[in-house]
Amino acid sequence: MTQHLKDLHVHGIVEKDKIPSLDLYMDQVTQLFDQTYQKVKRDESEKILTKTMINNYAKGKLLFPIENKKYSSDQIMLIQMIYQLKGALSIQDIKQTLDPLKTAVHEEALDFDAVYQDYTQLLEMQSRDFTDDLDRIEASVEALTEDPVLTNVYTLSALVQMSHMYRRVAERLVDHLNQPGQDKSVPKEK
């Protein structure tokens, strides 16, 4: 498998120490995401995050309330989480997933900086596992064919199948959160 596929896992995320301590205007938020995700764009014209997206997140109450048209580090961390989740989940599913977290942070039951640190660490671990997954797919495809056309088709099919399976599991987790009688609270930190 070509190295450029394996290099995608190094795309990075908006890490806490890269978020300025001062609140940012919307243009600065979109620039931060564009710079962070520059290497994963399919072409130069692709927008990672737009003003419309951010406005929709705010209107949909996916973010903490915006003050003076500026975005705090907590809001930027939520935008990062939304960015990751929107690749597989609907906005409604994302809202249902993040609402208990936002409530716990608002009630000071959770330290959002610590949660975000764990979140970024988890994504980094999964990014490393991504390379191993690609190696396994490559070995499976090589066992089936040496034809370059079939290699591309089989590799693409395997990646799409994995994506579908992961998305379905994520959707089931969201559905589980919404079942009557389920404890939707976030445990308090010790």
Does the structure show a pLDDT above 60 at 1?
Answer: no
Q: Per-residue confidence at 3, pLDDT binned at 50, 70, 90?
A: low
For residues 63-74, give the mean pLDDT: 94
For residues 164-187, give the mean pLDDT: 78
80: Cα within 13 Å, side-chain hemisphere: 24
34: Cα within 13 Å, side-chain hemisphere: 14
For residues 100-124, give the mean pLDDT: 94
Q: What is the pLDDT of residue 71?
A: 96
b vs e for 67-102, b when ≥16 Cβ sit within 10 Å of the residue's Cβ? eeeebbbbbbbbbbbbbebeebbeeebbbbbbeebb
Q: What is the mean pLDDT of the chain?
A: 88
Q: What is the pLDDT of residue 13?
A: 85
Q: Per-residue confidence at 43, pLDDT binned at 50, 70, 90?
A: confident
